[in-house]
């Protein structure tokens, strides 16, 4: 279904939609035949809500595909992640929780070693430790060119995320890594007229960086690869007619939400309860609320099954505060799975719950992977959840007589 098709059927309404995303929600049992994190968690509020909801399992990108948080979020936000691929540089920035904006061109950076003649002797500067990179990054952060802003965020060892911020920067740029030693790093070239300013700026930055690093050993130079802006997306207002607010603590999620046109609300504090408080405070001002819980994913990725269970139980305990606001439609789900036994993101479909007055409830009084597999939403692409939520919020008119 073409997104333009849906856009033409959107109508205004007074209804409110709340989407609670537990990052990496989907899990696996510790032992075969056992229960997943969500099934293990004591969730009386979510179970009671499930009984009045339609359940299903969302497929973030496609069968067998393990998504990063960027594509995972695009899916649950209602965009086809395959239609809006996120370039490597933008992924590197998102990966260090950088709040990427619409004027940002990101790249993958790395420290390297050049000789006195400027020829590469080590493309990875001996894989210097992350701590050393952090010190070097501080030197680069002092670089100023006109009114542009630069961000240098260490990733691991010699790698860093690099971001140039300013109006009129394109991302059709060549890389500086010649892929071999004995030659100098390449200059950045613009592949399109719209990227010429960015090419100039990147080359200026590299030149200044070389000066700042001249006395350092072994890392005395940088290389930049995979220049990319975040893909331009139609906003929630344009696509869905929604005044949307995002409640997230971590920069990456605030950034992605802002890139789809949500207002990132101020959260006083960093706990999940603080996030629910921010939601309560702004309840009258928006039609749609995305509330992001990071801790489920962190627990999953660190392999801490019982911590993930306990985070889910915290969210469950906060659900009555959301329901007290009488939202018309509630989505509870995740952007992908992060089973503690895998200590990583995974390809498994993600439990999803859709509550609303006009939902045809499945009558399954449990929110868990196997309960959701029996639900009437079926196993559906994550991007299909938003249209169904909008329909339940009576924001889509009939198509055809």
Closest distance of CB 364 from a second copy, Å:
9
Q: Give the range of 1-9, 125-133, 186-194, 259-267 binding a second copy by CB under 8 A.
A: 1-9
DSSP assignments along 258-314, one per residue = HHTT-EE---SSSSHHHHHHHHHHTGGG-SEEEEEE-HHHHHHHTT-HHHHHHHHHH
Are the C-beta atoms of 255 and 101 separated by less than 8 Å?
Answer: yes
Residue 256 binding a second copy, by CB under 8 A: no
Are the C-beta atoms of 388 and 1 separated by less than 8 Å?
Answer: no
Are the C-beta atoms of 136 and 219 separated by less than 8 Å?
Answer: yes
Closest distance of CB 158 from a second copy, Å:
18
Of 13 and 186, CB closest to a second copy: 13
Residue 9 binding a second copy, by CB under 8 A: yes
Closest CA to 386 of 242, 230, 249, 285: 242
Residue 156 binding a second copy, by CB under 8 A: no
Q: Give the range of 69-77, 175-183, 191-199, 322-330 binding a second copy by CB under 8 A.
A: 69-77
The one among 23, 47, 92, 99 contacting a second copy by CB under 8 A: 92
Closest distance of CB 96 from a second copy, Å:
9
Closest distance of CB 57 from a second copy, Å:
6
Q: Which of residues 340-379 bind a second copy (CB under 8 A)?
A: 341-342, 344-349, 358, 360-363, 369-370, 373-379
The one among 38, 57, 105, 330 contacting a second copy by CB under 8 A: 57
Sign of CA dihedral 3, 4, 8, 14: positive
Residue 68 binding a second copy, by CB under 8 A: yes
Element (H, E) at 247: strand 244-247
Cα–Cα dist 177/322, whole Å: 50
Residue 154 binding a second copy, by CB under 8 A: no
The one among 66, 121, 203, 314 contacting a second copy by CB under 8 A: 66
Element (H, E) at 111: strand 104-114
Residue 266 binding a second copy, by CB under 8 A: no
């Amino acid at each position: 279904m073409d997104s333009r098709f849906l856009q033409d059927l959107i109508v205004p309404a007074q209804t409110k939609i709340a989407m609670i995303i537990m990052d990496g929600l989907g899990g696996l049992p510790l032992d075969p035949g056992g229960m997943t994190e969500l099934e293990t968690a004591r969730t009386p509020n979510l179970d009671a809500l499930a009984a009045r909801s339609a359940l299903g399992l969302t497929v973030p990108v496609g069968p067998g595909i393990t998504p990063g948080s960027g594509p995972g979020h695009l899916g649950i936000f209602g965009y086809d992640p395959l239609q809006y691929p996120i370039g490597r540089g933008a992924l590197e920035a998102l990966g260090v929780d950088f709040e990427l904006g619409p004027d940002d061109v990101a790249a993958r950076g790395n420290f390297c070693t050049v000789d006195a003649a400027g020829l590469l002797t080590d493309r990875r500067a001996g894989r210097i430790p992350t701590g050393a990179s952090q010190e070097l990054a501080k030197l680069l952060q002092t670089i100023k060119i006109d009114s542009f802003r630069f961000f240098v965020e260490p990733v691991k060892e010699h790698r860093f995320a690099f971001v140039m911020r300013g109006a009129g920067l394109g991302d059709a740029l060549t890389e500086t890594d010649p892929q071999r030693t004995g030659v100098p790093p390449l200059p950045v070239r613009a592949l399109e007229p719209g990227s010429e300013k960015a090419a100039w700026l990147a080359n200026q930055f590299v030149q200044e960086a070389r000066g700042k690093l001249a006395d350092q050993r072994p890392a005395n130079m940088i290389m930049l690869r995979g220049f990319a802006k975040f893909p331009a997306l139609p906003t929630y207002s344009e696509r869905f007619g929604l005044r949307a607010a995002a409640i997230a603590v971590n920069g990456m999620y605030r950034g992605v939400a802002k890139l789809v046109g949500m207002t990132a609300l101020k959260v006083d504090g960093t706990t999940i309860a603080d996030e629910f408080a921010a939601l309560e405070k702004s309840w009258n001002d928006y039609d749609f609320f995305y509330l992001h819980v990071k801790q489920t994913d962190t627990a999953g990725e660190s392999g801490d099954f019982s911590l993930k269970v306990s985070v889910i139980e915290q969210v469950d305990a906060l659900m009555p505060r959301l329901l007290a606001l009488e939202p018309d439609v509630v989505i509870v789900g995740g952007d992908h799975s992060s089973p503690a036994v895998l200590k990583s993101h995974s390809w498994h479909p993600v439990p999803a719950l859709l509550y609303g007055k006009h939902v045809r409830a499945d009558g399954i009084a449990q929110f868990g992977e196997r309960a959701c597999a029996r639900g009437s939403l079926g196993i559906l692409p994550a991007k299909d959840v938003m249209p169904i939520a909008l329909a339940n919020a009576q924001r889509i008119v009939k198509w055809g007589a």
